Structure 1
Amino acid sequence: MRELKNSVRQILRQRKDAMMPEDRLLKSRRICRHLMEFIRNGETVMVFTSKEKEVNTKPLIQALFGKGNPVVVPIIVKEDVSLRLSYLRDFSALVPSTFGVPEPIGSEIPALAEDIGTIILPMLGFDRKGGRIGYGAGYYDRFMSKNPGLRKIGIAFACQEVDSLPVDENDIRMDYIITEDGIVYPDGGVSGGDQRHRDT
C-alpha cells in the first residue's frame, strides 16, 4: 500500500507542478468563490496556509476576514506529528516555517479544536468517493481522528483527481471536495462530519 501511494503521489506532484503560476492563482480564486458559499456566518474556520504550488488560500482567508469569520491556522509540530492551532488576524504574522509552510510563529493566538466548525484541507489528490491523499506525514489524518466532529472540506485543482485512490483504515474521507469546477464530492448527508453543519 505504501509503495502504491508513493507512486500515486509522484504522478500527482508532476501534474500540480506543471501548472502555470497565473493559472494556479486564477483557479484558486474560483475555488475560493465556490467554497465561501458553504461558510456560515460567524463560523470559525480552520484553513491551511498554502505553499507556492498548492491551491492559494490567501484569497480564501481574505474573504473569511471580510465576512467576519474567525480564522484558525495549523502550526506543524514535528516532534509528535501533531498540529498546534492559532488564530490568524493578519497576514503579517505568517513566516516560512516547517516544510516551508507559512505559520504565525512568534505571533500565536492559541485556539481550541472544539471551537472550529469547518476545516479546509490541502490535498495532493482525490477521488469522487471522498478519498483524499496528502503528502504522507499524516498530520491532518491524526488531527481529524482526534476531532471527528469537524466538517471536512478538501480543496484541490481538478487535475489532481484520480479514478480511485489507494486508501487504508487510517485515511479519513472528506465531507466535501471542491475544485475550480465546483463541488465534485458531496457527502450526501449519510455519514461523517458534524450534523450541525448539514444543509437542510
Structure 2
Amino acid sequence: MQGGTPAHPMRYLSRMIDKHELRATMRAARKRLAGLDPEASLRAAEHAAALPVVEVVAVYRAIGSELDMDALSLALSRLGRVLCLPVVIQADAPMIFRRWAPGEPLELDLVGVPAPLLLADTVTPDLILTPLLAFDLDGGRLGQGGGYYDRTFAALPEALRIGFAYVGQQVDGLPVYRHDIRLHGVLTEVGYTPARKVL
C-alpha cells in the first residue's frame, strides 16, 4: 500500500455476525497492513490539523500491530494540544487519563499497558483517539473485546471519539449492538473522515 491506492473495504466482513470470528480475521488483516506499509503512521500524522480543535487529546501507546501514534502525538503537541494517556486502575471500570508529553517516562498499568507515572495529573480528555481492529463509515468500531474503551466512552459522553487506524481496516458494515458506542470519525493515513451516521 505504500504510496499506492488505499485498500477497498472488506465487504465480505459485513456478513460475519460472530464477533470472535471477525476479530480473528481483522487481527490478521491489521498485522498484514502493518507489514505492508511501515510509513502509514507518518502519513497519518500529516493530517493532525484535520482533527477537531480541542484542548485535551487522549492518545495511546501502540501495542502489537496497532497503528503507531508516536508521530501523531508529536504533531498534536506541536499544535498546542495537551496530551494524556489512558490508565486502567480497576478491572471492569472506565479508564482514567493522566497528562503526558512525548518523551516522558511511563510505567505499566493494571493490564500491562504503558501509562504515565502515578504523580502525573489526572485530566478529562475532550477527544479520545482509540485503536481498533475494524471500523465502518457509520462510526462502527470493533475493538479487542475487553470493553475498556466502551466503558470509558459511556462514562465520558461529551468527549469526541475518533478511531486511529489503517484505511485498510475499513469494512462495509459492522454489527452494532445496544451497548456499542459509535465513533465520531476515523483518522487514517489518507486523512480524517467524519462518521456519516447522526450521533
Shorter-chain TM-score tier = 0.7 to 0.9
Q: Greater shift after overlay, 101-110 or 161-170? A: 101-110
Q: TM-score, normalised by structure 2?
A: 0.81
1:51–1:102 Cα contact (<8 Å) kept: no
Give the SS at the match of 1:91. Answer: coil
Unaligned runs of 5+ in 1: 193-200
Q: How many residues align?
A: 184
User: Aligned residue for 2:13?
Assistant: none
1:122–1:134 Cα contact (<8 Å) kept: yes
Residue identity opposite 1:9 in structure 2:
R
1:11-54 CA-partner distances (Å, limit 9, x unpaired)? 00001112355823x111111222332242x6111112211311
Higher RCO, 1 vs 2 (CA within 8 Å, ≥6 residues apart)? 2
CA RMSD in angstroms, aligned pairs only: 2.3
Is residue 43 of structure 1 aligned with residue 55 of structure 2? yes
1:44–1:72 Cα contact (<8 Å) kept: yes
Residue identity opposite 2:142 in structure 1:
I
User: Aligned residue for 2:151?
Assistant: 142
Structure 1 residue ranges, 4+ long, deviating more than 4 angstroms after superposition: 96-100
Residue 96 to residue 21, structure 1, CA distance change in 2 (3 Å): farther
Q: TM-score, normalised by structure 1?
A: 0.81
Unaligned runs of 5+ in 2: 1-16
Say which of 76, 84, 99 aligns to 2:96: 84
1:167-191 CA-partner distances (Å, limit 9, x unpaired)? 101111111112112234x235x73
1:114-171 CA-partner distances (Å, limit 9, x unpaired)? xx22111111111121100100011111111111111111111022121111110111
Give the SS at the match of 2:150. Answer: helix
Take 1:149 and 1:141, find their aligned partners in 2: how far apart are those partners?
A: 14
User: Aligned residue for 1:60?
Assistant: 72
Residue 11 to residue 99, structure 1, CA distance change in 2 (3 Å): farther
Take 1:162 and 1:37, find their aligned partners in 2: how far apart are those partners?
A: 22
Give the SS at the match of 1:71. Answer: strand
